[in-house]
């Protein structure tokens, strides 16, 4: 349902937040073939809304590597400690740790 609400906002189709209701059979992230009922009005822009939901989902999927990296990076405290010891010992522990995460979860080309 979040993708639908974001699509409606992106397309400047007003809704009151609580007044977006699914009607019919669910087909795409909670969106329905029959349409979306918005503030008492049946959405006539269903194709446009569906296209925007599809675009948002593709964008979300394309950024999966960012979410994977965010959980794989060492904590900021650990990174600061690595950087301190790298400077003190002329090592590359921090760079190696960051590069390992980037290699594990590469950015799509």
What pLDDT was estimated at residue 1? 57
Residue-level pLDDT, tens digit, the chain, 109 residues: 577 778 878 887 765 543 444 444 444 444 444 455 555 445 567 778 788 889 999 999 999 999 999 999 999 999 999 999 999 999 999 999 999 999 999 998 8
Contact (CB, 8 A) for 52 and 34: no
Q: Give 81: exposed, middle or buried? Use CB within 10 Å, 0-12, 13-18, 19+.
A: middle
Contact (CB, 8 A) for 31 and 50: yes
What pLDDT was estimated at residue 38? 54
What pLDDT was estimated at residue 4? 76
Q: Where are the alpha helices (DSSP H) in the chain?
A: 2-10, 46-62, 64-72, 76-89, 93-104
| pTM of the predicted model as reported, rounded to 2 decimal places | 0.62
Sole residue written with tokens 């010891």: 85
């Amino acid at each position: 349902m979040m993708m639908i609400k974001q699509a409606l906002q992106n397309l400047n189709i007003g809704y009151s937040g609580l007044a977006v209701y699914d009607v019919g059979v669910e087909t795409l992230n909670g969106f329905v073939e029959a349409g979306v009922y918005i503030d008492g009005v049946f959405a006539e822009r269903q194709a446009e809304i569906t296209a925007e939901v599809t675009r948002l989902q593709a964008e979300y999927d394309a950024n999966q590597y960012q979410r994977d990296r965010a959980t794989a990076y060492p904590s900021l405290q650990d990174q600061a400690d690595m950087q301190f010891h790298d400077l003190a010992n002329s090592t590359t522990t921090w760079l190696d740790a960051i590069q390992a995460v980037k290699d594990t979860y590469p950015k799509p080309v």
